A and B are shown apart, each in its own frame.
Chain A
Amino acid sequence: MNDTQTGTVENPAYVRAEMIPEQAPPATQVGVIKWLRENLFSSWANTLLTIVSVYVVYWIIGHIFGWTFFGIWDAGSLSECRAIRDERYGEGASVACWAVIADRWDQLMFGFYPSELYWRPVLAMVLFLVAIAPVLYDNLPRKMLFFTVVSPFLLVWILWGGSIWGPVCVALGFVLGWAVLSYGTALIGRLGATIAAILVPILYWLFAAGPISAALGSVAPIGLEAISSDEFGGFLLALVIGISSIVLSLPLGIALALGRQSDLFIINKSSVMFIEVIRGVPLIVWLFTASLLLNYFLPPGTNFDLMLRVIIMVTLFAAAYIAEVIRGGLAALPAGQYEGADSLGLDYWQSMRLIVLPQALKISIPGIVSTFIGIFKDTTLVVFIGLLDPIGFTNAIRASTDWNGIYWELFIFIGLCFFVACFSMSQYSQYLERKLRTDNR
């Protein structure tokens, strides 16, 4: 402080005559040099640590890099692979034998799906991406959502094949429910129409859908070759189970979260009970229940597809977690938002749909996505009930004489595939959070 420039205790009067212009900071305070100084070389101890760390990183990368990128891709068995290695890099060199992935690629991807029909899972994957795109990115044309609505039935038909009338008749059930709801409200009131819209499609599926599709099939036999669930395997299986459970568990989870918040006693208590029971038991127990116990409860002779049972169990399991994550979002919303919606005369469903859920879901995005990621990885547990997902195939592959003794390459490859899927989900959720941010933070 300079006495001539600013006031002092003895003489507080001071008026600035001239404003100080902006100046550039000192050179040591900007750019790379500043960053290096502050982060790597701020003291001699840190300098030492930096040098040691750089060496360790170099050492690790040096080993992994060579092992990964000089790996052998063209061999029919592990012994052949080793022979090539010895010839190329000398006896006992440490390189990966990626040939196992090339050799067993089809199995790892499609399981026992007939090889001449591989175009069907591939087409299904492409159609799935087209269907999900307008849901993920709202700058795409909204008309694409029509395809999204149709796609579940289409994808099921492409993957499993059979008569096209099966999926069509199932889809008609939903149309029927919607029709009952929209035309019944005027006739029998809101509540009656809602109940009817649930009951009519169920009755239709139980008694009418089968005969109708059979009749249509005999009139116009349009269909693809039927593939049974036993033939699904590898990443196809993991993706079908994972994607179906993720897609189905979100709406169910929202319903359960709202149910748990409801003032209606029965709805509230049954939601709480469902969530606590499902969440309180390990997923593997539910999978065993699906594979073994359900058969005892079902009438003898019913053949209830194992894969479908697994999808249902994983969906219920995921829904219980999603419900709790969303409940957190609902609880985080200020009471004023509910009151604001109420005071404008919006009814319960309107205020949930327009005000509460958009905000609660936005708050819950990180939790929801991390549940999805967890569930997608947990689908590998199906190996314990005898389904051949990629992990299941590693066992089969390592048991074969050709590849007996290989493990790193397989697990790294599978890990990488799962990582790519999970990392994309995580990146998308961050994009979504940024996009939905409307405040000035």
Chain B
Amino acid sequence: MADLSTNLVEQRQIDRSQMKVSDEIAIEMRDVNKWFGTFHVLRDINLTVNRGERIVICGPSGSGKSTLIRCINALEEHQRGSITVDGTLLSNDLKNIDKIRSEVGMCFQQFNLFPHLTILENCTLAPIWVRKTPKKEAEETAMYFLEKVKIPEQAMKYPGQLSGGQQQRVAIARSLCMRPRIMLFDEPTSALDPEMIKEVLDTMIQLAEEGMTMICVTHEMGFARQVANRVIFMDVGQIVEQNEPEEFFTNPKSDRTKLFLSQILGH
């Protein structure tokens, strides 16, 4: 799978002119700890993400990588430490949480489109209700982003009538309609057929080229090599190693990382 996606991504010339990492801090996690019951899922996570960074988080299943990004938009509550997103401290205050969520887009492994609404309604729902955008304007924005992910002709269909890859691209468009400053991807291609992985990765690369701050939990190592500016390896709820992609893949430092990479790239 890893080889396949490497090929998929390498076929494409990546335009790096807009990919700039600024000094401005987008996300700051300080000593974040989280437990599920008595199980210690996240242990002393310290992570600073600058605006324009494209970070790939990888690691074995159960290592806490999904939980980590889900803490960023408070889908999971952390118990200790602090998370600051775009200068807003994530606390129990519902106002802050809603503010952060409307600034941070998220794509899920299972897409989580709303099956009772059309594609267009899926995309306009949050702008209309959260941002109070007039309906017509929201629809124009939605069509703009649907064109961008190359499925404007599906706007009047329901999610159940689309393929997995198309659904995931709609999910990306739906997040983009809120004009987020940060995008989180939680294994966006894991539920897809190899052919559909390409179309979703293409969309994600396109986003990266436009300078979006992205954190991706993914096993697409080709994507990580080509697009990421930083790769983070997690195991047992902690960050084990992080480095630039080239260095990370060719010269991993920790034994755990070496083992993981040999398993995932070996076949």
Most buried by B among A337, A339, A439, A440: A339
The contact of A345 among B102, B112, B114, B160, by CB within 8 Å, is B102
Rounded to whole angstroms, the CA-CA distance of A249 and B75 in the bound complex is: 33
Decide yes or no whether B108 CB sits under 8 A from chain A. yes
How far is B74's CA from A339's CA once the two chains are assembled, in angstroms?
Answer: 10
Instruction: Tell me the complex Cα distance, A340–B159, Å.
Output: 14
The smallest beta-carbon distance between A392 and chain B, in angstroms, is 44
Report B62 CB to chain A, min CB distance, Å. 18
Known contacts A344-B125, A346-B126, A439 near B73 by CB under 8 Å: no
Interface residue B249 (Cβ < 8 Å from any Cβ of A): no
In the complex, chain B residues 103-148 whose Cβ is within 8 Å of any chain A Cβ: 104-106, 108, 110-116, 125-126, 129-130
Given known pairs A343-B101, A438-B160, A439-B160, the reply for A362 and B116 (CB within 8 Å) is yes
Expressed in whole angstroms, the Cα–Cα distance for A358 and B111 within the complex equals: 19
Given the complex, which residues of A lie within 8 Å of B101, measured CB to CB?
342-345
A438-B102 CB under 8 A given contacts A336-B110, A343-B73: no
With A and B bound together, what is the CA distance between A339 and B112 in angstroms?
A: 8
Give the CA-CA distance A320 to B28 in the complex, in Å. Answer: 47
Report the separation of the CA atoms of residues A355 and B125 in the bound assembly, to the nearest whole angstrom.
Answer: 10
- Return chain B residues, CB-CB under 8 Å to A343: 73, 75, 101, 104-106, 108, 112, 175
Interface size (B, Cβ < 8 Å)? 30
A138 close to chain B: CB less than 8 A: no
Encode B152-176 as 1/0 by CB contact (under 8 A) with A.
0000001111000000000000110
Bound CA–CA A343/B186 (angstroms): 12
Neighbouring B residues of A339 by C-beta, 8 Å:
75, 108, 112
A-B pairs with beta carbons under 8 A, tally = 72
* B217 proximal to A (CB < 8 A): no
The interface residues of chain A lying within 8 Å CB-to-CB of B161 are 439-440
- What are 26 inter-chain pairs, A to B, with CB distance below 8 A? A334-B112, A340-B114, A342-B73, A342-B101, A343-B75, A343-B106, A343-B108, A344-B174, A345-B98, A345-B126, A345-B130, A345-B178, A346-B126, A346-B130, A347-B98, A350-B129, A350-B130, A355-B114, A359-B114, A362-B116, A436-B116, A438-B115, A438-B160, A439-B158, A439-B161, A440-B160
| Beta-carbon nearest neighbor of B109 in chain A | A336
Residue in contact with B94 in the complex, picked from A347, A355, A358, A439, CB distance below 8 Å = A347
Measured between beta carbons, the chain B residues less than 8 angstroms from A362 are 116
Secondary structure call for the A interface:
helix
Interface size class of A (residues with CB under 8 A): 20 to 34
> A123 an interface residue at 8 Å Cβ cutoff?
no
When chains A and B are docked, how far (Å) is the Cα of A350 from the Cα of B174? 17
* B112 contacts A340, C-beta separation under 8 Å: yes
Closest to A438 in B: B158
- Partner-A contacts on B (CB < 8 A): 73-75, 94, 98-99, 101-102, 104-106, 108, 110-116, 125-126, 129-130, 158-161, 174-175, 178
Chain B, residue nearest A339 (CB) = B75
Tell me the minimal C-beta distance from B102 to chain A in angstroms: 3
Interchain CA distance A436-B74 in the complex, whole Å: 32
Does A354 lie at the interface of the complex (its beta carbon under 8 Å from any beta carbon of B)? yes
Residues from chain A with a CB closer than 8 A to the CB of B160 are 438-440
A354 and B113 form a contact (CB under 8 A): no
Which of B74, B94, B125, B175 has most A Cβ within 10 Å? B125
Check A346–B129 contact: CB distance below 8 A.
yes
User: A345, A355, A438 — which one has the most chain B CB atoms within 10 A of its CB?
Assistant: A345
With A359-B115, A439-B115 as contacts: A344 and B108 at CB distance below 8 Å? no
For residue B110, which residues in chain A have a CB less than 8 angstroms away from its CB? 334, 336
In the assembly, what is the distance between CA of A341 and CA of B175, in Å? 11
Chain A residues in 8 Å Cβ range of B130: 344-346, 350
Question: A336 vs B66: C-alpha distance in the bound complex, in angstroms?
Answer: 14
A340 touches B116 (CB 8 A): no
Task: Report A41 CB to chain B, min CB distance, Å.
Answer: 42
- A439 and B112 alpha carbons, distance in the complex (Å): 14
A337 CA to B125 CA in the complex, in Å?
Answer: 14
User: Contacts A346-B129, A359-B115, A438-B115 known; A336 to B102 CB distance under 8 Å?
Assistant: no
Chain B residue numbers with a CB within 8 Å of A336 are 108, 110-112
Q: Once the chains are docked, how many angstroms separate the CA of A440 from the CA of B159?
A: 10
How many Å lie between the Cα of A193 and that of B101 in the bound state?
Answer: 25
- Which residue of chain A has its CB nearest to the CB of B171? A340
In the assembled complex, the CB of B132 is this many whole angstroms from the nearest CB of chain A, namely 12
Interface string of A348-377 (1 = CB under 8 A from B): 001000110011001000000000000000
Q: Which residues of B contact A346 (CB under 8 A)?
A: 125-126, 129-130
> In the complex, which of the residues A347, A438, A440 contacts B116, with contact meaning CB atoms closer than 8 Å?
A438
Docked pose: A228 CA to B50 CA in angstroms:
75
Q: Contacts of B75 on A, CB cut-off 8 Å?
A: 339, 342-343
Known: A341-B114, A345-B102. 12 other contacts (CB 8 A): A336-B108, A336-B111, A340-B108, A340-B112, A342-B75, A343-B105, A343-B175, A344-B125, A344-B175, A359-B116, A362-B116, A438-B115
Give the Cβ gap from A18 to chain B, nearest Cβ, in Å. Answer: 31
